[in-house]
Amino acid sequence: MIKKTIIAIATIAVMAPTMALAKDHDRNNAAISYSGPVDTVTVAELLENTSMFTERNAVVEGKLIKQIDAETFIFSDGTKEIQVELDDDIHMPQTIDATTKVRLFGEYEGGNTPEIEVDRIQLL
């Protein structure tokens, strides 16, 4: 009986810090809902540099006008169009279509097929 009690206490002692850190991790990753101004860039500005070594953070506003596959879309901001790839952990609470205005946060990458790798979408 004492042996089982010691094992139980040892298990709790090992697991408690891990569980506490996991709770803090979830709290720190909570999304912030901000609706104020954001510095954006146009797709035309991004496409001025299509070098395969080009990488830069980008925030664009416009519409996903066509779906290519599960994670790849064509995006238009009214100036030009660009391919975007949505992170596989992005989940929208509602259905969007080609008329839904969105703000995309991600990284622009030049090359043969310039694209924005999207980390987050905000409905506008």
Among the listed residues 80, 78, 62, 79, the one whose alpha carbon sits nearest the alpha carbon of residue 118: 62
Amino acid letter for position 80: K
The three-class DSSP label of residue 44 is helix
Taking the CA atoms of 118, 39, 65 and 81 in sequence, report the sign of the dihedral they define.
Answer: negative
List the chain pLDDT tens, one digit each, 124 residues: 676 666 656 666 665 555 554 444 444 445 566 777 789 999 999 999 999 999 999 999 999 999 999 999 999 999 999 999 998 888 888 899 999 999 999 999 999 999 999 999 999 8
- pTM of the predicted protein model: 0.71
Helix (H, G, I), strand (E, B) or coil at 2: helix
Between strands 55-67 and 101-109, the pairing is antiparallel
